[in-house]
Structure formats: structure tokens, C-alpha cells
Amino acid sequence: MCLPPTGPPPQFDVVNATTGETVLGGQTYVSGATVAFDGLALVLADSGQPPRRGDTFVIDTTRGAAQAMAVNPEVVADVRKIAAAQTPRGGR
């Protein structure tokens, strides 16, 4: 998320850092408002000090994602429920 260095504050653009594509452009910053793009929704809020022109914020949807993953206890109890855990043909 980038606040353009010029233009009427407080406006911002949402830019895909991988492709460089502007996903949302010229959005007006309102503390507490929901911003939705590419299947994501997030709330932008400040504590009385709004972002300034030229500020950049990175939203990384995958960093640390595996920390919240878990294996279903039913699968742990019976690995035959995982297709990859089956014995190959020929018994090897």
C-alpha cells in the first residue's frame, strides 16, 4: 500500500508488489474504514496520526502462514486417510 508522494492527502494506492499492477488507485484514507481487494479485506486505522505522503505499507498474506496450520487428529490417528500414505502396488 503506497501513499503517493503528490496529490491530495490522504489518498493511497494498493499495488501488487509482484506484478507492479495498481489494484486500487486513488483511494481516500479514512481511519477505521475497510479496504477490500483481490479477495482480501482489511481495516485501516490509526491512533490519531494518519499516514503521510510517501509512506509505504507491505501486506504479506503468506509470511508465517504455516504457523497456524495443524493436522486433523483423525488423520494423525489413521494415516491411511492420506492418499500419499497408501502402500504402492506390488507391496513395496
How many CB atoms within 10 Å of residue 4?
14
The 10s digit of each residue's pLDDT in 11-62 is: 888 998 889 999 999 888 888 899 998 888 888 888 888 888 788 888 887 7
Q: Return the pLDDT at 34.
A: 92
- Distance (Å, whole) CA 66 – CA 87: 28
Q: Is 66 helix (H, G, I), strand (E, B) or coil?
A: helix
Binned at pLDDT 50, 70 and 90, residue 69 comes out as confident
Domain boundaries, the chain: 11-85
Q: Is the pTM of this model over 0.75?
A: no
